[in-house]
Amino acid sequence: MEAINPRESTGFLVGRVAHHLKLRVQDFLDEAGIPMSAEEISILTMLAHLDAPERMKPLAEMLGRDATTLSRQIDGLENAGLVQRAPCPDDGRAVLVSVTAPGMKLAQRTLPMTIALRQRAMHGVSKADEKVVVGALKQMLSNLVG
């Protein structure tokens, strides 16, 4: 069996980076007095950047969450008036989720935090290397999802 070095393994490193990004987002939210989880703000951010309401299944895939977890999180955001659900006109079984005006306002409020965190995470990484990292991550995701 081939040895794995968790300090050098792509999978472990991606997991650790994701974990620390989530922790820093939570720090920003706590410092700003925003009583939300990093997961909830990621849903708002995603919806705020989409051109149209999205079905639950594709939204879950974009966010890397299972549908049950996402549905529970959407419930909380809907109860807070930050997102809304509507029946899909093309498919009576499907539901479309969109961000409300208060949700959009909150997503815009947290955008500077997101940009600052991205800059912090990418400090010392050249633009060329950033493109390579993004390309490699996209390919990895495609390999695992497709």
Exposure pattern of 57-66 as b/e (b: 16+ CB <10 Å)?
eebbeebebe
Neighbours of 110 (CB within 10 A): 21
| Coil/strand/helix, residue 98 | strand
Give yes or no for residue 146 having a pLDDT over 80: no
Decide if 2 is inside a domain.
no
Q: What is the mean pLDDT of residues 5-15?
A: 84
Decide if 6 is inside a domain.
no
Within 13 Å of residue 48, how many CA atoms lie on the same side as its CB? 18
| Residue 3's pLDDT band (cuts 50, 70, 90) | confident
Decide if 144 is inside a domain.
no
Decide if 125 is inside a domain.
no
Give yes or no for residue 145 having a pLDDT over 90: no
The count of domains in the chain is: 1
| Coil/strand/helix, residue 83 | strand
Q: Residue 72's domain is classified under what CATH number? A: 1.10.10.10
Instruction: Give the range of the structural domain holding residue 53, as residue numbers without chain letter.
Output: 21-113
Residue-level pLDDT at 91: 84
**Residues 27-65 pLDDT 10s:** 999 999 999 999 999 999 999 999 999 999 999 999 989
Decide if 135 is inside a domain.
no
Decide if 95 is inside a domain.
yes
